[in-house]
C-alpha cells in the first residue's frame, strides 16, 4: 500500500490528503434538511447528512488527490450512527480508487493494540469465518505506550500490506508540553526526536520500494522540527497535518520533503471541505456548490505546494 | 461522579473495577453457539455473543464492585456490531448501578478531542436536539498531545459531572521506552512524573469532595513508581491496571493508596471474566458456570486487596 500511495502521489502530482472531518457546521443546510426530513434531527439523521456531504466532496476531488483521511472522532461523536457513516465513507473512497488513512490515533498495551489493528487494518476471526471490519489502508497510531503498543499494528500491516503513521510531533499549540521535553540520557535531544528515531528503527524491517510502511505524523506548524525529523527518518513518509486552517503554509512544507520530491503528504481538512465558507471562495461558491469550492481549494493547494516545492 | 465512585468503593468495600474485555476465546462455547445459531458466524453473531457473555458477568458481580471498565478495542475489533455490544454493555451496567469507565485512551488536537469528549462523556447537538451517544461515566485519555488534547475532556466533565483517567505510567513491558525517559530541564525526573505533576495541576480546579475528577492511570506492574506518583498527586484517584494476569499482586498495590484507604481503584480483566479458564477455578466451575467463577474471582480479589491494605 505504501508503494501504491507513492505512485498515486506521483501520478496525480499531488502530495495531498483531503481530511474528511465533517462537523454539523460545515454541512450545508440543504444536505442537513434533506437528511433530517427523512430521519429527523437524530443521530441517524446526522450520520446520513455526514455521508451525503462526504460523497459530494469525494466525487469532486477523487481525480485530483491520491488519498483521504477521515478523522474518526468526527464520526464517533455521533455514536454508532456516526461510525456507520465513517464505514460508508471508507468503502466509497476505496471504490473511487482513493487510499484511505484512518485518523484513529489508537494505541494501547499489546493485546489491546492487536484488537485495534485487527479492527481497522486487519481481519477478525469469528468461528471459521474472517471479516475486515473497518478496513482502512493506513491508520495513525499514538506511541506513548512504546514498542509493544505499536508492534501489533506493524505485524498486521506486514500481513495485510497496509501501513501506519506514528504520532511524532503533532500540529497543535501544546504539543511541545511533553513532546519537546529534553531527554537527559539522549544528549538533551527532545522527546519527539527520540520517537522519530524509533519510527526510523521500526521502519527498517518494513520497507516498500523506497519508503517504509511505518510513517510519521509531523505538524506543518513546526517546520524547523520537520527539517530535523526529515533527516532523522530518511525512509519515512511523513503525514503533515496543520496546513491551512491551523496556520501551516506551503513555503513551510519544503523541509518535510526529500530531494526526490517525495517523502511527505500534506493534509488539509477544513480548508478544503469547508472552502465554501472561506472568504476566498464564498463569493464564487454558494453552499449548494460546496463540492465545487472544495475542488477549487484542492487545485489552489496543489499550486501552492508545487510553487513551494519548485516543480511548478 | 467522582464522589459517587468513591462512595460506592466504600459502600462495597471494594476498590475494584472489573475489566469487561471479552475476546472470542474467553466466551464459553454454549454462548457462542447460541449466538451463531441465530446470526451465523458473523460480526453480528460475535456482537451478540459478547453482549450475552457480559450480561452474565455483570449479573454475577454488580453487587460486589463499584465499577466496570469495558475496553473499547475489544468491541471495535468487530466493527459496528462490536460497538453496538459496547453500547448495550454500558447501558446495562448503568442500569445495575455500576459506574462505567470507558477505556478508550483517546486524545487528539483540541477540536478533535472535543468531538471524542462529546461522543463519550457529553452530548452532541443535532439541530435543536441533543443526544448522549456513548455516555460512559469516565473515560481514559492519552496525554501525548499535551494540555489542549486533554482540556476538552475536562471541560465536558465539568459540565456533565463526569471524569477522566489520564495515562501516566502504563502497565505494559515497554511503557518505559518513552514514559521513563529522564527530562533534562526537570532535574532529570522521568517523563511519567512530569505527566503526573500535570495531572495534579489539571485536577486542582476539578475537585470533588476529596478527590479530583481528573484521575490517572498507573500500572500495578510498577509499584515503586506508583509510590512516587501517589505522593506527587495526592488528590488524584489512580486507576491501576495490570493486577492478576499481567503480573501485579495485592501486596504491590499498597503504595497506590492514600492513608485514608482510598485513592486507587484496581482493575482486573482476564483474571475475573475468564476465571473459569484459570487453574485455580477450572475444576470447580465449568464453562457454563463462567459467571459464578467470575464472582468467586472477585471475592478472592477483594480478600487479597483487603489483606494487603490491612483492613481485613
pLDDT tens digits, B166-188? 999 999 999 999 999 999 999 99
Averaged pLDDT for residues A146-174 = 97
In whole numbers, what is the pLDDT of chain B averaged over residues? 96
The beta-carbon neighbor of A41 closest among B36, B126, B184 is B126
Cα gap B16→A102, rounded to integer Å: 35
Q: Residues B205-235: pLDDT tens digits?
A: 999 999 999 999 999 999 999 999 999 999 9
Tell which residue, B52, B21, B18, B30, has the closest CA to residue B286. B30
| ipTM surpassing 0.90 | yes
**Is A48 at the interface with chain B, CB within 8 A?**
no
Report whether pLDDT(B312) > 70: no
The cell numbers describing A293, all together, are 469550492
Min Cα distance A260 → chain B (Å) is 31
pLDDT number for residue A312: 43
Q: Are strands A138-141 and B138-141 parallel, antiparallel or unpaired?
A: unpaired
**Is B202 at the interface with chain A, CB within 8 A?**
no
pLDDT number for residue B247: 72
Q: Write down the catalytic residue from B96, B105, B151, B227.
A: B105
Averaged pLDDT for residues B114-118 = 98
Cα gap B192→A125, rounded to integer Å: 36
What structural domains does chain A harbor?
Answer: 2-305 (3.20.20.70)
Residues in chain A: 312
Chain A nearest-CA residue for B195: A178
Chain B nearest-CA residue for A185: B182
B248 vs A290, residue with greater confidence: A290
**Is B83 at the interface with chain A, CB within 8 A?**
yes
Residues 6+ apart with CB under 8 A from B83: A80, A83, B72, B75, B76
- Model confidence at B61, in pLDDT bands (50, 70, 90)? very high
Cα gap A170→A149, rounded to integer Å: 18
The beta-carbon neighbor of B142 closest among A144, A188, A246 is A144
Residue A157 CA, distance from chain mean position: 16
Report whether pLDDT(A228) > 60: yes
Q: Which stretch of A230-239, B3-12, B251-260 has the lowest confidence by average pLDDT?
A: B251-260
**Helix, coil or strand: residue A19:** strand
pLDDT exceeding 90 applies to what percent of chain B? Answer: 94
Q: Residues B62-72: pLDDT tens digits?
A: 999 999 999 99
Per-residue buried b or exposed e for A163-194, using 16+ beta carbons within 10 Å of the residue's own CB: bbbbbbbbbbbbbbbbbbbbbbeeeebbbbbb
**Helix, coil or strand: residue A77:** coil
Q: Residues B237-267: pLDDT tens digits?
A: 999 998 976 676 788 899 999 998 999 999 9
The answer to whether the CB atoms of B41 and A129 lie below 8 A apart is: yes
- Specify the pTM: 0.97
Amino acid at each position: 500500500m505504501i508503494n501504491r500511495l507513492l505512485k498515486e502521489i506521483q501520478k496525480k502530482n499531488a502530495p495531498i490528503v483531503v481530511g474528511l472531518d465533517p462537523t454539523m457546521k460545515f454541512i450545508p443546510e440543504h444536505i442537513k434538511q434533506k437528511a433530517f426530513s427523512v430521519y429527523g434531527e437524530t443521530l441517524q439523521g446526522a450520520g446520513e447528512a455526514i455521508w451525503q456531504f462526504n460523497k459530494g466532496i469525494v466525487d469532486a476531488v477523487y481525480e485530483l488527490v491520491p488519498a483521504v483521511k477521515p478523522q474518526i472522532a468526527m464520526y464517533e461523536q455521533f455514536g454508532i450512527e456516526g461510525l456507520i457513516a465513517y464505514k460508508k465513507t471508507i468503502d466509497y473512497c476505496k471504490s473511487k480508487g482513493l487510499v484511505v488513512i484512518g485518523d484513529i490515533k489508537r494505541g494501547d498495551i499489546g493485546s489491546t493494540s492487536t484488537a485495534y489493528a485487527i479492527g481497522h487494518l486487519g481481519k477478525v476471526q469469528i468461528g471459521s469465518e474472517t471479516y475486515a471490519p473497518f478496513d482502512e489502508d493506513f491508520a495513525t497510531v499514538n506511541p506513548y505506550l512504546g514498542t509493544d503498543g505499536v508492534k501489533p499494528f506493524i505485524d498486521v500491516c506486514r500481513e495485510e500490506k497496509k501501513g501506519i503513521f506514528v504520532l511524532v510531533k503533532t500540529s497543535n499549540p501544546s504539543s511541545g508540553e511533553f513532546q519537546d521535553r529534553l531527554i537527559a540520557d539522549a544528549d538533551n535531544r527532545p522527546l519527539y526526536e527520540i520517537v522519530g528515531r524509533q519510527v526510523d528503527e521500526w521502519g527498517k524491517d518494513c520497507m516498500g520500494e523506497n519508503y517504509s510502511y511505518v510513517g510519521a505524523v509531523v505538524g506543518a506548524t513546526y517546520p524547523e522540527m520537520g527539517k530535523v525529523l526529515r533527516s532523522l527518518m530518511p525512509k519515512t513518509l511523513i503525514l503533515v497535518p496543520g496546513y491551512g486552517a491551523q496556520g501551516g503554509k506551503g513555503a513551510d512544507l519544503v523541509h518535510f520533503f526529500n530531494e526526490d520530491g517525495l517523502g511527505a503528504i500534506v493534509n488539509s481538512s477544513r480548508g478544503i471541505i469547508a472552502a465554501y465558507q472561506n472568504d476566498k471562495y464564498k463569493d464564487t461558491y454558494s453552499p449548494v456548490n460546496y463540492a465545487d469550492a472544495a475542488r477549487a481549494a484542492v487545485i489552489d493547494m496543489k499550486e501552492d505546494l508545487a510553487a513551494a516545492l519548485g516543480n511548478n
